Structure 1
């Protein structure tokens, strides 16, 4: 589990596990390397998987003829399971297939961590705790890939995100093509989760603008001092607003919170879309980003909208264009600077440099479109 230790005004520091360090340093099971296999007897489900970019299919003992028939229809890579071992089309053993019906089976699966190849675990009564046990056992052993059988996209997500690192992949067992398509959609979302590009913008104007309805976003996750939300008056340029992980003489640290800004502001949500802060509510997912552009999703636990004094910050990017954001005029509200440090709006001034994410201007219901648009 992650443990947090309060430190100085610089924020919170983690006495973190190897899991978290590996995740933040990019040495763990990253989303672009997740493995997706399918086990099905439905040709329609097989075609849906292939069309979605999945070409690895698992065939239990006695289903060789089905594999050969499908190889005539689509370019697939079959995996044959026999006697707890897995072989590819050439007959080479590529790993183990472990059915889990009790603790002895679970212990056997955990003992395979460190072996070369792939281990697929097939639980008969799968629960989150055994999944976490397996993920923890396999994390230090980079040479072993851990996959788990699942029945739907929701279960796949649990497996792939257990202990934040997750299994290396999943084997979806279904004859329903719609279930396959849902997994494909989830996989596409992971592949889009690459690091975002952050640009440097120079502050050219700071102006108090009176009172407004400010939305404060509290998450079901702990954020780091160099992590926050991308927000802006316009979708074309989103400023990186820091979490309240830092200590202040006025208020205790709130590492789960981003004092986000007025209700009209855009923020980034999964799938490359945007939403207004006024649209968010408990249970929604948004994208959090750190100073290196690394992104993850976080669940909103609470939105608080209150009347507060506001300040306009306008900044210019290298292309000469000006962009702006309105924030609560408070010492605890901070933008992340080009130096990758929190910069309070109470101290911000012309010439300061802050981080922004640039993207297409035109949006319709949060979706990027090609259209001429003028916003100011």
Structure 2
């Protein structure tokens, strides 16, 4: 679980009360100060962190700076603050992160390579790595660095609004989805139409794809091009997704038409177990191709319709992540899909009557 600490040391006194109230309300994990009086009245749900020049006796979590290995070895507590500015202090931060309960690290240079090295060194360690960040943009980067990220971030907010925004960064962005087994009922050759290939800025796993459908009520899990194909190289960043009118499921349960996707848009990668993650679109490529409509039905009787390029190399996923070429599908075959409980208005779920056909 990622967490955030709020640094009160540079927050103007006029904003301090509002910042603390926001930290309590948004359940920020910790508050950092150099004055114990600012921490004494905080509720027990918040970690009270006293950041001081030298270790002291205190009921709060005390973190003091260390600058060399000797200081680290003699440290009376199991928490330290390390400023990384060169190779020596980078090695010190790695040693601290490997053995201490809490290691707060501030990096003086803008590159994230030293952070990646500390994250790698601390991999598997039981302690927590907390990285000092200047703003919300840096916090988002640090929390995902090296696909692992710092366990926590320490940020001095400008005001209470920054606290709430930081808390939202820590929310689970991509909860799992419930997938269902769809049974193919019919296949229809449609002739020429416009289809969209979605090229993302990330690799898909072999059992991952994106959820696409003609109706907002249901989607089919379209396979990425991670599996070998004759006559062409694999493109593990791509999904040959479907006709331009189709809905594609994105983060926060929102849909877009495939025709709306642009470089920088977000889509949801979904694997055969329903685990999801947010991906950034690098390019959406629209071309005219012969089209094929797959009509399937869920166990509850919901009709799911997907129009894709009518070619053998276009694939969807079946139960267990089985790869299925669309031109080889037959009535009775099983696909993986997702049934939505709400209708859509401009991509947002809404509880209204809507019939699609």
Determine if the TM-score, normalized by the shorter chain, exceeds 0.5.
yes
Q: How many residues align?
A: 337
Instruction: Determine the structure 1 residue equivalent to 2:99.
Output: 115
- Between Structure 1 and Structure 2, whose CA radius of gyration is higher? 2
Per-residue deviation, 1:262: 1.1
Indicate conservation of the 8 Å contact 2:27/2:46, yes or no: no
Per-residue deviation, 1:88: 7.8
Indicate conservation of the 8 Å contact 2:3/2:28, yes or no: no
Instruction: Determine the structure 2 residue equivalent to 1:134.
Output: 118
With over 3 angstroms needed to count, the CA separation of the structure-2 counterparts of 1:177 and 1:90, relative to structure 1, is closer
Partner secondary structure for residue 283 of structure 1: coil
1:47-66 → structure 2 map (5 Å cutoff): 47-59=21-33, 61=34, 63-66=35-38
1:124 to 70, 84, 108: 108
Partner secondary structure for residue 114 of structure 2: helix
Indicate conservation of the 8 Å contact 2:218/2:302, yes or no: no
Give TM-score, length-normalised by structure 1. 0.83
1:233 to 176, 198, 214: 214
Instruction: Determine the structure 2 residue equivalent to 1:213.
Output: 194
Unaligned runs of 5+ in 1: 1-32
Give TM-score, length-normalised by structure 2. 0.87
Indicate conservation of the 8 Å contact 1:152/1:183, yes or no: no
Per-residue deviation, 1:89: 4.1
With over 3 angstroms needed to count, the CA separation of the structure-2 counterparts of 1:86 and 1:283, relative to structure 1, is farther
Matched, 1:246 2:227: yes
1:1-376 → structure 2 map (5 Å cutoff): 33-40=1-8, 41=11, 42-59=16-33, 61=34, 63-68=35-40, 71=42, 76-83=46-53, 89-90=59-60, 93=77, 95-141=79-125, 143-188=126-171, 191-376=172-357
With over 3 angstroms needed to count, the CA separation of the structure-2 counterparts of 1:301 and 1:86, relative to structure 1, is farther
Q: Deviations over 1:199-221 (max 9, x none)?
A: 11111111112221111111111
Partner secondary structure for residue 106 of structure 1: helix
Q: Aligned equivalents of 1:322 and 1:175: distance in 2? A: 51
With over 3 angstroms needed to count, the CA separation of the structure-2 counterparts of 1:328 and 1:38, relative to structure 1, is same
With over 3 angstroms needed to count, the CA separation of the structure-2 counterparts of 1:357 and 1:95, relative to structure 1, is farther
Q: What's the C-alpha RMSD, in Å, of the aligned pairs?
A: 2.2
